[in-house]
Amino acid sequence: MAISRRKFLGWMGAAGLGATVGKSAHAASNKHFEGFPDSMGVLHDVVRCVGCRSCEAACNSVNQLPPPEQSFKDLTVLDQKRRTDAKTYTIVNRFETEAQGQMPQYVKDQCNHCLEPACASACFVNAFTKTKEGAVIYDESVCVGCRYCMIACPFEIPTYEYDKALTPRVMKCTLCHPRLVEGKLPGCVEVCPTEALTFGKREDLLHIARERIRRQPDRYVDHIYGENEMGGTSWLYIAGAPFSELGMREDLGVTPAPALTAGALGAVPIVVGLWPVLLTGIYAVSRRKDKIAQEEQADAVAQAVAASKEESKSELEKVLAMKEKEKETAINMAVKKALEEAAKEQEEAAAKEQEGAADEAQDDSEPKQTEEDS
């Protein structure tokens, strides 16, 4: 039985809307998740960090990421500012500041695991989840590749596997969540040689940070980055220089991302319901576009082949004409040479004949002696 395009799209839209009923997207809700009270986190003491990049090496090993182009022992990479990418969950950057006796400051950058994640707020398929352990994790099986999370993140952390056309994923630090579930430390924390990274309950980390600032006010800036930024993060920082000089944003405010996006994201369930229709339309347009492109490409190739053949034929005719002319010239030259040689031979023969006749005439003119004369 034939099915019209309108009826097909109608069925797809109904199916999408049906799937949405009773399962509203978390991002569209006006209720904000405020984090787990006993969630864990990491305190990064920038003053203690020496930029050894051991944390980068551990992260690479634990998460089985591709090896870097330059060894983790190569510290020349610190000469330029870097950022995380699909193959690098964490990086260390060096900053020259006037604080701490003009000593460089080393800052580790990775996902800050917000208490109320902007990525989860922007995701209408619940691909991101804030766990009770404190980590913000990602489910690639439900991700549709819209990359709203990358736009929403105020720290510019999530990255995309653009080099994987069939199965691209959003990539970022997981706080080593599988290790946390097993009771282990995050890989970077476990290997840090200067104890610049401390893992524990977030409330305990805040207490440790305040104590360090109180005991050494001349060494630390009186601010715990991540305590309140964007509603708070599970990754906290203390440093000996203003955070604005360490490449960190200080204009984020204290309002969680969901509070800023709830109104706009209220329409997300409608988008989810119409998503199959949208994808079908995009697919049809894409197929049509591809077909036209293929036809144009085939026509262009045919024209190019025809032009090439015509050009080759013209070139061949020119070559043949040139060869014919060269052949004619060579024949004329050979004939001319032969005629010249023949004329020369005739001249030589005539000269010899004249010379012989002269000799005979001379012989006849000379007196002959007889016996009587003698």
Question: Distance between CA atoms of 37 and 133, rounded to whole angstroms?
Answer: 10
* Structure letter (DSSP) for residue 368: P
Q: How far apart are the first and last CA of the chain?
A: 147
Chain CA centroid to CA 101, Å? 39
Would you state the pLDDT for residue 23?
38
**pLDDT tens readout for residues 62-111:** 999 999 999 999 999 999 999 999 999 999 999 998 765 678 999 999 99
What is the arithmetic mean of pLDDT over 293-299?
80
Instruction: Give me the residues paired with residue 274 across strands.
Output: none
- The CA-CA-CA angle for residues 147, 148, 154, to 5°, reads 110
Nearest by Cα to 59 from 156, 192, 159, 247: 192
Would you state the pLDDT for residue 11?
46
* 202 in Cβ contact with 113 (< 8 Å): no
Question: Distance between CA atoms of 48 and 196, rounded to whole angstroms?
Answer: 5
pLDDT at 20 over 50: no
Q: What is the pTM of this model?
A: 0.64
What is the arithmetic mean of pLDDT over 125-154?
95
The alpha helices in the chain, defined as continuous H runs, are 5-20, 54-62, 118-122, 148-152, 177-181, 187-191, 202-215, 257-261, 268-365
Higher pLDDT, 265 or 18: 265
Find where tokens 């319901």 sit. Answer: 273
Nearest by Cα to 136 from 153, 152, 112: 112
**pLDDT tens readout for residues 160-212:** 999 998 899 999 999 999 999 999 999 999 999 999 999 999 999 999 999 99
Pairing of strands 235-238, 40-45: parallel
* Structure letter (DSSP) for residue 89: S
H or E segment and range at residue 91 = strand 91-95
Q: How many helices (H) and strands (E) does the chain have?
A: 9, 9
Would you state the pLDDT for residue 245?
94
Say which residues have a Cβ less than 8 Å from residue 140's Cβ, sequence separation at least 6.
127, 169, 170
CA distances to 120, 126, 323 from 189, rounded to whole Å, are 25, 29, 81
Would you state the pLDDT for residue 5?
42
* Structure letter (DSSP) for residue 110: S
Question: Distance between CA atoms of 55 and 197, rounded to whole angstroms?
Answer: 9
Residue by residue, DSSP assigns 4-24 as: -HHHHHHHHHHHHHHHHTT--
Residue 72, number of CB atoms within 10 A of its CB: 19
Would you state the pLDDT for residue 97?
86
92: which 2 tokens?
A: 């260390």
